[in-house]
Homo-oligomer: A and B are copies of this chain.
């Protein structure tokens, strides 16, 4: 019963209850069943520990499928968060079962449709932070964002997911054709969507645009999982570097701004 005693040690109020009711061993066994089953996941007062939660290797292609489908339930940020967290619920369980997956819905459309940070990166960032230290989160998410800004989306792999026969979800519009790709040169929803609209000719309200964002959810969720798997194996190396042009800007503008976005997306070179 060492584990039971350890759990009880962590909750003073529960011990007080034990003393006043005298229910004893039966309570202790009940307590064990409500534990997370994950060492270190609970702390004083019955609150979840403020340390990274356990990570288990995940399948990037399963993440791609889940994120793609989830986009149509509650948008892009929910989609990547849901994909990673639902898989961690399946493989690890415990504390992941108590984190509401709908929580990231607000990130849709670059946060309540304001067009700022692409929700796919927002949802992935929250998932990464749950399993990684703050320092590692900065490296992993920083590199994921950089990768996002220079990669053509949606990928052929995500086109394939959307084209698979028999794979269904409750989308109002269901586009199966391969889609044009674009490179955003920016982590902002606004710039990312517009770059694709300019390239493809579809309007923001077109089902193809929604499908493009759904496939982008798949791409980002799969990449985030690949990076996390590498990180867990001790093999992750950040590879993104800002462009020579942006590096040139930052050589003077390191003290008057925060950020790594490509400068000439908004500013004239001078």
Cα distance, A226 to B20, chains bound together (Å): 40
Q: Contacts A98-B48, A106-B128, A137-B105 known; A114 to B29 CB distance under 8 Å?
A: no
Nearest B residue to A45 by beta-carbon distance? B97
The reply to whether B29 and A116 form a contact with Cβ atoms under 8 Å apart is no
Question: In the complex, what's the smallest C-beta–C-beta distance from A1 to chain B, in angstroms?
Answer: 12
Q: Is the CB of A142 within 8 A of B26?
A: no
The interface residues of chain B lying within 8 Å CB-to-CB of A193 are 257-258
Task: Spot the interface stretch: A161-169, A171-179, A198-206.
Answer: A198-206
Interchain nearest-CB distance for A154 vs B (Å): 16
Taking Cβ atoms with an 8 Å cutoff, the residues of A that contact B are: 11, 14, 17, 21, 23-31, 33-35, 45-51, 53, 74, 89, 95, 97-117, 121-122, 125-126, 128-130, 134, 137-138, 141-142, 145, 187-190, 193-194, 197-198, 203-205, 254-261, 265-266
**A111 to B148 CA separation, bound complex (whole angstroms):** 13
Residues of B within 8 A of A125 (CB): 106-107, 111-112
In the complex, chain B residues whose CB is within 8 Å of the CB of A205 = 255
Q: Which residue of B lies closest to A198 (CB)?
A: B256
**Given known A25-B26, A29-B27, contact A260–B98 (CB-CB < 8 A):** no
Instruction: Write the chain B residue with the least CB distance to A21.
Output: B29
B100 & A99 in contact (Cβ 8 Å cutoff): yes
Asked if A260 and B115 make an inter-chain contact with CB atoms under 8 angstroms apart, the answer reads: yes
Q: Are A189 and B48 in contact (CB under 8 A)?
A: no
Nearest to A189 among chain B residues (CB) is: B258
Complex Cα spacing A136 to B111, Å: 13
The closest CB in chain B to the CB of A13 belongs to B33
Question: With the chains together, A219 CA to B254 CA distance in Å?
Answer: 26
- Give the Cβ gap from A76 to chain B, nearest Cβ, in Å: 11
Is the Cβ of A99 less than 8 Å from the Cβ of B98? yes
B134 near A105 with CB under 8 A, answer yes
Interchain CB contact under 8 A, A259 and B134: no
CA of A234 to CA of B97, assembled, Å: 31
Known interface pairs A97-B47, A99-B99; A115-B27 also in contact (CB < 8 Å): no
Cβ contact within 8 Å between B204 and A130: no
